[in-house]
Amino acid sequence: MVTYEDETISNAGSVASKDAYAASATGEKVGFWRDFIDGFKQLDLGDIDPNLSETERANVIAARTPLKRSLKNRHVQMIAIGSAIGTGLFVGSGTALHTGGPASLVICYFLIGTMIFCTVQALGELAVAYPVAGSFLSLNTRFISPIWGFCMAWNYVLQWIIVMPLELVASSLTIRYWNDTINSAAWVSIFYCLIVFINLFGVKGYGEAEFIFSTIKVTAILGFIILGIVLNCGGGPVGGYIGGRYWYNPGAFHHGFKGLCGVFTTAAFSFSGTELVGLTSAETANPRKTLPSATKQVFWRITLFYMVSLVLIGLLVPYNDPRLMGNSSADAAASPFVIAIRNAGIKGLPSVMNVVILIAVLSVANSAVFGSSRTIASLADQGFGPRWFGYIDRKGRPLVGVGIALAFGLLCFLAASDKEAVAFAWMMAISGLSSVFTWMSICFTHVRFRRALKVQGRSTKELSFVALSGVWGSLWGVLLNVLILMAEFWFSLFPTNKPDAYNFFENYLNAVVLVFFFLIFLVWKKFKVTFLVRAKDVDLDTGRRVEDWDLLMQEIEEERAYIASKPFYYKLYKMWC
């Protein structure tokens, strides 16, 4: 088997240390300013065999990634637990409650939660086995086909590159909860500069920022869960005992089956960004140790942060409360968390909750730069974009990708335009379904990976982390994502009893964009494309971060034997944590 671990490290380190070595040899001290400037120079990947095919070349480049492995265990843990917690939970859950009622809210979020868990488990297995640049995006090309990899990579770029200006505008709208007299552009400028400052520090800056943001979000949700139980039991200043009152009046369901389908799609969008933990694999110091634990944390996030808090929301806020339908996705006044606290007559806490919503919005904007910049670099690695997209400096920052993401972020200044709502509605439409297609692709990639292992006479015994959900979980993920797309199609085309073309394209435009990318690739390759890579031809080795296979297998067996020798509660802990 061929691996590229030693070559990757040597190539990544040689150029980065060249100037420092020369300076030390002459006794010259490298000043802060010179080191700062030199850090922006490109890092050389070394020579690559010109006889390799396009797919083989992409695999080698992804394996040789010069991205810095600066993310520590605590960073990855908090990214896994809290990175996707944003306005989808804090505000979007209110829209979902209004659309389908508390029973639909619990049912749909539970079903989507099972799909997300299976998806992240599949992603964890793939990312630990192949901690390469681009993660699941480059694996689409390897295990499915180049044309699918092209569509998914560009689609993922669109998703995050549009999310950043949207979230920056949302942050300015969140401020209106306290003061609506200051021009939104002023707040947008402040938050934009904050995001730029964080990303100057590369992946370490992203990791530290997300660690702080996620800690605050997690603490706030835990606090709300405790408060919600107290309020439901009648412990608030006003209101008395509530119990299950709102499940009977106005009721558990709203708008029947159609309302259930509407919540189904809203719930899916609330989990957007969950897959970001997979993109960290190439920048994690020890993915074999860190990523398995991080992916298991998703179970607790789904169970505790989403399900428990949403059950409480359904108990504390009636679905017919007019405040649930806010003016935007970041309208803090429409947050069911804020409404529940207000209904209890508690002063001060709604403002604290609004601060958490603001932090959640900024967290997503920060994640958008991380996600889009790494994806743009991956486009160059796979030959799906100009080579200069893959410019990575000596500090491990994908500078061109970050620059493009920040340049698109300037669209946030549309907040000062009277056409802001229309512009952002159509921008969101372009990438609205991107997460659903991404999750479906991850699950299908995992199925193809397991199929390739079987066909080539290999097994999961060589994997240091095996998805708890297995292949059946990934098949469930594919099926549920297809159902989400079908439900969204129906809900978009028939928002009422009559078809609405404008509403359909506003919500389903991303599917049309994918078809457009598909056609571009066909024309580019003159219709000479492989639609599905045969399992026996899949490259299972390039990019595996392994120096000694026998030693790895021995370590895995020793770890499994050690866990097997422990009591059942320890085995249970290691299974889920």
Which pLDDT belongs to residue 330?
56
Instruction: Say which residue the tokens 């979000």 belong to.
Output: 217
Q: How far apart are CA 219 and CA 380, in angstroms?
A: 39
Instruction: Give, in degrees to the nearest 5, the angle at Cα 454 between 451 and 456.
Output: 105
Q: How far apart are CA 414 and CA 400, in angstroms?
A: 23
**Which has the closest alpha carbon to 400: 412, 388, 414, 415?**
388
Q: Where are the domains of the chain?
A: 5-526, 547-577
Would you tell me how many other CB atoms lie within 10 Å of the CB of residue 287? 25
Nearest-10 crossing angle of helices 136-143, 54-63? 150
Q: How far apart are CA 158 and CA 277, in angstroms?
A: 19
Secondary structure (3-state) at 42? strand
Q: Given 3-state DSSP classes, what are the helix, strand and coil percentages for the chain, each rounded to the nearest 5?
A: 70, 0, 25
Q: List the structure tokens of 139.
A: 């694996």
Q: How far apart are CA 482 and CA 139, in angstroms?
A: 21
Q: How far apart are CA 202 and CA 75, in angstroms?
A: 14
Q: What is the 3-state secondary structure (H, E, C) of 70-102?
A: CECHHHHHHHHHHCCCCHHHHCHHHHHHHHHHH
284, β-bridge pairs? 71
Q: Label residue 130 exposed, middle or buried (CB < 10 Å: 0-12, 13-18, 19+).
A: buried
Would you tell me how many other CB atoms lie within 10 Å of the CB of residue 226? 10
**Which has the closest alpha carbon to 409: 235, 188, 233, 258?**
188
Q: How far apart are CA 11 and CA 153, in angstroms?
A: 26
Q: List the structure tokens of 131.
A: 């901690």
Which pLDDT belongs to residue 10?
39
Q: What is the 3-state secondary structure (H, E, C) of 120-163?
A: HHHHHHHHHHCCCCCCHHHHHHHHCCHHHHHHHHHHHHHHHHHH
Instruction: Say which residue the tokens 């804020």 belong to.
Output: 338
Would you tell me how many other CB atoms lie within 10 Å of the CB of residue 577? 11
546: left (phi over 0), alpha (psi -120 to 50) or beta: beta
One-letter amino acid at 5 equals: E
> Are the beta carbons of 337 and 120 closer than 8 angstroms?
no
502: left (phi over 0), alpha (psi -120 to 50) or beta: alpha
Q: How far apart are CA 76 and CA 82, in angstroms?
A: 10
Digitized pLDDT (tens) for each residue of the chain, 577 residues in all: 434 443 333 344 434 444 443 444 444 555 555 655 655 555 555 556 566 665 565 555 555 555 666 677 777 777 777 766 777 888 888 888 998 999 999 999 999 889 988 998 999 898 888 877 667 888 898 899 999 999 999 999 988 898 888 888 888 778 877 877 777 788 888 999 999 999 888 778 888 888 888 889 888 999 999 999 999 998 888 878 888 899 998 988 988 888 888 888 788 878 888 888 777 766 677 777 777 777 777 777 777 788 899 999 999 999 998 888 765 555 667 789 989 988 888 888 888 888 888 888 888 888 888 888 888 988 888 888 888 888 887 777 888 889 999 999 888 887 777 766 677 777 777 777 888 999 999 999 999 999 999 999 888 888 888 888 899 999 999 999 999 898 888 888 887 778 888 888 888 888 888 999 999 999 998 888 888 999 888 888 876 765 566 777 777 777 778 787 888 777 777 776 6
Phi and psi, residue 65, nearest 5°: -45, 130
Which pLDDT belongs to residue 280?
73
Phi and psi, residue 71, nearest 5°: -75, 125
Q: What is the 3-state secondary structure (H, E, C) of 380-435?
A: HHCCCCCHHHHCCECCCCCHHHHHHHHHHHHHHHHHHCCCHHHHHHHHHHHHCCHH
Instruction: Give, in degrees to the nearest 5, the angle at Cα 492 between 489 and 497.
Output: 110
Which pLDDT belongs to residue 27?
47
CATH code that applies to domain 5-526:
1.20.1740.10
